Chain A
Amino acid sequence: MKRLVILGAAVAGLTGIAAHAEVSDAVIKNAFAPYEKSTPTAPGYQPGMRITAKNVDALEGILDPFTFRYVKKGWFEIPTTPTFSLPQHPNYIEATRKSAGKVKLSPEGMLVDFDAGRPFPQEPDAKDPQAGLKLMWNFQRSINAGDSETINPFWWTFRNTKTGQSERQIRFDWHFLNWKHRTIFDPKPDITPNPGQIFRSISATVLEPFDLANTQLLIWRYENDLQRDDGWLYLGFQRRVRRLAVGQITDAFLGTDAMIEDFEGYNGRLSDYTWTYKGTQNVLMPYEKHNELPELDVEPKGDADGFRFVKFGGQGNCFPQVTWQLRKSYIIEGKPKDPNHPLSRRVIYMDSESATLPIVTQYDRKGQPWKYFPICKSHADHHLAKNKGVGVAIDDCALFFDEQAMHCTTLQFKSYVNPQENPPSIFTVQKMRATGR
C-alpha cells in the first residue's frame, strides 16, 4: 500500500511538472507579439515625426536620459517610424512555450530546469527581488544573434566627437555560435561533444589595419554562469596564441570606447552584477528596416554584395542615422559587485519583444553619466536577402560614446544569421593558430 502511495505521488508530481512546464498562450503572446493588437503611444508623439532639439522637451518621457540630453544639445536628431514587430523564430517561441513554466532560479541565481527558449517570458513583477536577474537571463538566453551569426565586414571607427576626425578604423570578421539551447539550426538542442559545457563561443579576427591584422579573439562562455569565461588572443606579430586574463573585462577593447563587458549590451557573468528591475516604459529605440532607411553610407565601399552600411552623422559623426520607434521596454539597473569596477551602475533599456538590449547607459564611479551604447536592430526581412525569415533582430549598427572624453567608436555591421560559416571547428584555439598569418 505504501508503495502505491509513493508511486501515485510520483506520477502526480511528474504530471504536475509536465503540466507546469508549459506556459499559457497569453503569456507567449504578451512576450512575443506585444504589438499584435496595438502599438505604443505617448502624448505628443506621432510616428514619423522628427525629434530635434526644438521639440524634444515634450518627449522626455519616452527617451532615456542620455538620448534626451544629446538631442537637446543638438548633437543628433531622431527620425521616427511606426512601431513594427520583430518576430522571433517560431522554434524559439515554441521552446519557450514548452519549457519556460518549469524554469527556476537557484539560490545562487543560476537557471534550473532550463531547456531552451526564453526562460522567463512572464511579465516582470516589481515585487519580485529577482525580476531584474530574470530579465537578464532572458537576454542571456535570447536569440540575439540566432544560434549562429556572422558579422563580416564589421567596421569599428574611432572618432573624435569634438572634431569629427576619424582617427582609426578596424575591420573585423566576427562569428557567434550557441553550443547549447539551440532552436533554429541543427543540431538541436546541443552541439556535441561539448565536454567543457560551453554555452556560447565568440570568435573575432581583425582584417585591417596592418598592425592589428590577424589579431584574433576567442571567447568561450560556459553554461555555468559562475564559471569565468576562457579567452585567447592570437597576435599576428607574434604568431602565437596568448591566454587572456579574461577577468579583466572592464579593460577597453583594442583601444575602442568599449569594454569587453559591453559587447552585445552586456558580455559578463550575470553573477558579477546585482540586477534590479526598475519598471516598464515605452521608450524610443533604434529599431529599423535597413533597406528602407532614408540614407545609407557610401563608405566603406567595395562590398562584394553591394551592401551599404548604416550612416553616422550628428556631432562628431558619432550618431547612427537610423529611424527609431516607440517600443515597450523593461528598465534594468545593474550594479557591479566588484568595488573596483569602473562603473557605479549601468541602466539598460531592454526591448520586451526580443529581450535584446538596444540602449545601455553607464555611470562612472562617482555616479556621473559616462558612456552611451545604443545598438540598432533591423527587421530581418528588410536586410540582406539571406536574412529573410530568420526570426532574429539583425545587428545593424552601434555606438560606444564616452561623453566625458568626447570620443566615440562607431560600429557598422553586415550581419547574417547562418550555420554554414559558423561550424564549431572555427571556435577552437587550433583554428586561430592555423588561420593566423
Chain B
Amino acid sequence: MRLIRIPLAASHCSILLGLALCIGLSTPAYAVWNSADGSLEVRGFVDNMTNVRDEVGLTKQRLQGQLELFKQAQPRGIFSDLSVGATFRLSYDAVYDMNDDEYGRKAGGPLSYSAPGNPAFFSYINGFAPPFTPPTNLVYAGTFGPDGTGADGAIPLPGTGGTINSPGNPNDGLRFAAGDIYSYQDGGVMLATPVRPCDTDNRGCLKDYMDKDRDELRYKEINDDLDFIRELWVAGTIPMGTGDDELAIRLGRQQVVWGRTDLFRVLDIVNPMDFSRENLYAEFEDSRIPQAMINLEYRMGATKSLEDLNFQLIYKVESFRPHDLGQGGEPYAILGAGNLFRALANCWDNGCTVGNFPATGVAVDFPSHSIGIRDVNEPDHSEFGGRIEGVYKGVGFSLNAMYFYSQFPTLRGGIPTDDPFTPGVENVPHPYDIAFDVEFPRLFMVGGSADWYWERARTSFRVETSYTTDEGFADTSKPNLYSESDVFRGVIGFDRPTFIPFLNKDRAFLISAQMFYQHLMDYESYLVNSAGIDLPPGPHTGRIGFQDWEDNVLLTLLIQGNYMNDRLTPQIITAYDTRAGAGAIAPSVEYKPDNNWVFKLGLNLKWANHKGAVEADDNRSANPFPPATCAPDIALGPDPTPCLTAYSSLGLSGFEPLGRFRSGPLGTARNEDEIQFTIRYQF
C-alpha cells in the first residue's frame, strides 16, 4: 500500500483540527449539561474525521457537530410519562474543496477509450466496406481517437446524426464508471460517468435521487429533507388496566432498530441507510436516515408464560426515502452504483460512448434515448410494520413483519426507446435494451430473531431470519432485464468474552462472529438464450439470467480488547464475502484520555481474490435492435434468421455493469484502502 498526498491532507487537516480543538476547549468541562431541576439534558460532540485513500489522497475531511437534547416533562392527563427528544447534526466535509480535482469542481477530465480497432467487426458492420465516417471533433464526449491505427475511434451510430457532440455533453469532467474498481483488462463494457457536483455538471444527475450539488455534498445535512434534524420526537406512556401494561407512543422523526446483527442488516430495515457517509463502515447509529413515524408499543411485561412481551406497530409518516448509495463522484458510494447510474443517466439524456461494445476493441457512440436510465420513480404510498418481541424461558425472541418499499433501487427495462441504428424517433420498447427506469418495488418481509446464552460455552448466540417477497434483480434472460424473486436471509452469530491472559489478565476480549446467508428463491439461470442459441463456453461467456448469486455467505469477525481501564481500545473488524472472494479488515485503536476527548486511528484495508472483476453477463451480446445488433457469428452463419428478432444475451461477460453486484460492497471497494483518524470532543 502506498499512501500519497498525506502531507497535503495533513496540512489542511491541521486547520480543521485546530478549529475543532478551539471549539472543544471553549466548552465547559462538564460531560453532560443538565438543567437545575434535572429535567433537561443536553449533550453532544464536535469531531473531525480525516480519511486518506491509497492512490487517491484525501477522501474525507469532515468537521461535524452533534447536539442531543432530552426533556423529561411532568406526567399530564392520561400520560404517566412524557418526554421530548431531539438530535441535531451539522457537518462540513472539506474534501470537496481540498481535493477538488478528485471530488469537487475540477474532478474528472476528458477520456480516451482504448479502441485499437476491430477490423473484422468494422468490415462486417459496414457491409465489408470502409466504416462509418471517423469522428473529427475531439471536444465532445464520444469523439475519442484516432489513435493512429486508422481503424479506431468510436462508431457514431446513425441515430446520433453522426456525432453525439453537443455543448452540454463535453468530453470533460468524466471518469470511467468502474475505473476505481478495475482496469477493464477483461475487455468488459466501458462507461463514462460525470463526476462533478451537480451544480457544476448536471449530466447524469437523477432528480431528487442522485442530484447533490456541491453544498449538499459539503454540508450533508442541509438539504430539502432537513437532515440536520436527525431526530425530533415526543413520547408518552399511558398505563393500561390495573397491572403493569402500558401503551407507549413515540411520534416524530426517529430511528427504529430491529434485529440483532452488526455490519450487515437482515431485519433492521425500518430506516434507510446513508452509505455515502462511509460505505458500510460508519456506525449504524450515524448512518441510519431517521424518518418521521408513528411508533406504538403495547408493553405487557411479564405474563403467565412469558418473562416479557411487547407488541409494536410502526407507520411511516414521512415520505419514502431510499438508501443514499452515494452519487457518481462521491468518495463513498456503495457498489459503485452511483457511478453506474450517473453514466447511464447521461447516456439517456445526452447520448454517450460505450467502450468495448459490442465487442472488445470497439467503441460506439449511442444517441440519446436509446440506452441508459430515463427516470426515477419514487413511491409515495404507505409503509408500515409490526413486531412482537419477548423473552421465553430466558430466550429473547422477535417476530417481525414490514410492508414497505425496497430501499435499494431496481433497474427495470422495457421502457420506450429509439433505435440508435435508425435516424428516426420511434419511442417504442425494445426488448433486452439496456434502458431503464429506476424503481423501488413494494416488498413484504416477515422474519424473526432470537438470542440466548449457552452456559457451557459461556457464549451468547443470536439468530435472525427474514423472508422478503418480490425483490428486484437484474436478469439478462428477460426482455425487461429484471425479475422479481423472494429472498431468504439468515444469520447466526455469537459473542464470547474471552480472557487471553498473555495479552490482558484483567479484561476479557470480546470475540464476536457472524455468518450471513442469502438465498434467492426464484433464481434462474440458462445456458440457452431466448432465441434458442446455445451459449458458447469460454472464459468470457457464461450463463444468462440472474446475475446476483443464488446463494451467498458472508462472514464477519470482531475482536476487541480494552486496556487502561477501557480508555485504550484496540479492535479488529473483518468481513469476507465468500462468493465474491473479497474481504475487508479494519484494525483500529481508540484512546480516551478523559471524559471529553476521544482519539481514534484506524486502517481500512480490502482485498479480493479476483484480480479486477467478478464477471457477469453484461448483456452486450443481446440483440435489442434487430438486425443491427445481431452477433456477426449468427449474421454470417448458415442460419441468420435469429437476427430478425430481438433475443437475449449470448452471455458475454465483464465487470460492468452487473459484475459490481456480484462483487458486492466488499469487492467493489477493493481499491479503497484507507487510513482514518478521528478526534472528538464530547460533552
Contacts and interface: CB of A to CB of B under 8 A. Distances in A.
Interface of A: 158, 166-169, 171, 193-196, 198, 207-211, 213, 220, 228, 230-232, 236-248, 250-252, 254-257, 302, 304, 340, 342, 405, 407, 409, 423-425, 428-431, 433-434, 437
B555 interface: no
B598 A211 contact: yes
Contacts of B593: 167
B227 interface: no
B458 interface: yes
B44 A230 contact: no
A423 B242 CA distance: 13
Contact of A211 (B389, B453, B507, B592): B592
Contacts of B462: 243
A257 B565 contact: yes
B455 A228 contact: yes
Contacts of B595: 168-169, 208-209
A248 B505 CA distance: 13
Given A158-B565, A247-B453, A434-B297, A236 B260 contact: no
Interface in B454-492: 455, 458-462
Contacts of B565: 158, 167-168, 252, 255-257, 407, 409
B640 interface: no
Interface of B: 31-32, 34, 36-38, 41, 43-45, 68, 70, 85, 244, 246, 248, 255, 257, 259-260, 262, 268, 283-285, 297, 299, 301-308, 310, 389, 391, 393-394, 396, 451-453, 455, 458-462, 495-499, 505-508, 562, 564-567, 592-596, 598, 682-683
Contact of A213 (B43, B284, B303, B496): B43
Contact of A425 (B246, B285, B303, B389): B246
A210 B391 contact: no
B264 to A, nearest CB: 13
Contacts of B257: 238-240, 433
A431 B301 CA distance: 9
Contacts of A194: 302, 307
A430 B389 contact: yes
A232 B389 CA distance: 14
B592 A168 contact: yes
22 contacts: A169-B31, A171-B32, A196-B302, A208-B595, A209-B595, A209-B596, A210-B31, A210-B682, A211-B682, A238-B285, A243-B460, A243-B495, A244-B495, A245-B495, A252-B506, A304-B36, A342-B506, A409-B565, A424-B301, A425-B244, A428-B301, A433-B257
A232 B506 CA distance: 22
A193 B285 contact: no
B497 A245 contact: yes
Contacts of B455: 228, 247
Nearest to B565: A255
Contacts, number: 179
Given A245-B458, A407-B565, A252 B507 contact: yes
Contacts of B451: 242-243
Interface-centre pick from A194, A245, A304, A425 (highest chain B CB count, 10 A) = A245
B299 A430 contact: yes
Contact of A242 (B284, B495, B682): B495
B391 A429 contact: yes
Given A198-B307, A342-B505, A424-B244, 9 more contacts: A210-B43, A211-B598, A240-B257, A243-B260, A243-B451, A247-B458, A252-B562, A428-B308, A429-B391
A424 B302 contact: yes
Given A168-B565, A169-B31, A428 B299 contact: yes
Contacts of A220: 307
Contact of B85 (A247, A255, A405, A437): A437
Nearest to A302: B34
B456 to A, nearest CB: 9
B497 A208 contact: no
Contact of B396 (A166, A237, A251, A429): A429
Contacts of A255: 507, 562, 564-567
A240 B301 contact: no
B300 to A, nearest CB: 9
B592 A210 contact: no
B248 A434 contact: yes
B299 A434 contact: yes
Contacts of A246: 453, 460
A51 B244 CA distance: 51
Contacts of A423: 244
Q: Lowest 6 A-B CB distances belong to which pairs?
A: A255-B566, A210-B682, A247-B458, A243-B460, A243-B451, A248-B497
B453 A429 contact: no
A407 B566 CA distance: 13
Contacts of A242: 260, 451, 460, 495
Contacts of A430: 297, 299, 301, 308, 310, 389
A193 B45 contact: no
Contacts of B497: 245, 248, 251
A196 B391 contact: yes
A359 B435 CA distance: 77
Interface-centre pick from B31, B299, B458 (highest chain A CB count, 10 A) = B31
A195 B302 contact: yes
B393 A236 contact: no
A210 B32 contact: yes
Contact of A195 (B45, B304, B506): B304
Contacts of B564: 255
Given A230-B394, A240-B260, A429-B391, A437 B592 contact: no
B302 A252 contact: no
A238 B495 CA distance: 15
A196 B304 CA distance: 9
A237 B389 CA distance: 21
Interface-centre pick from B45, B310, B593 (highest chain A CB count, 10 A) = B310
A20 to B, nearest CB: 34
Nearest to A191: B302
B278 to A, nearest CB: 14
Nearest to A192: B302
B44 to A, nearest CB: 7
Contacts of A208: 31-32, 43, 595
A239 B304 contact: no
B568 to A, nearest CB: 9
Nearest to B462: A243
Contacts of B453: 228, 230-231, 243-247
Contacts of A232: 396
Given A208-B43, A208-B595, A236 B308 contact: no
Contact of A248 (B284, B508, B562): B508
Contacts of A196: 302, 307, 391, 393-394
Contacts of B262: 238
Contacts of B458: 245, 247-248
Contacts of A238: 257, 262, 283-285
Given A255-B566, A429-B391, A209 B682 contact: yes
A236 B507 contact: no
Contacts of B302: 193-196, 424, 428
Nearest to A197: B307
Interface-centre pick from B36, B310, B460, B598 (highest chain A CB count, 10 A) = B460
B74 to A, nearest CB: 14
A227 to B, nearest CB: 8
A417 to B, nearest CB: 20
B68 A437 contact: yes
Interface-centre pick from B37, B68, B248, B506 (highest chain A CB count, 10 A) = B506
Given A245-B453, A245-B460, A302-B34, A193 B303 contact: yes
Contacts of B255: 239
A242 B394 CA distance: 14
Nearest to B461: A243
A215 to B, nearest CB: 12
Contacts of A207: 32, 41
A213 B32 contact: yes
A228 B455 CA distance: 7
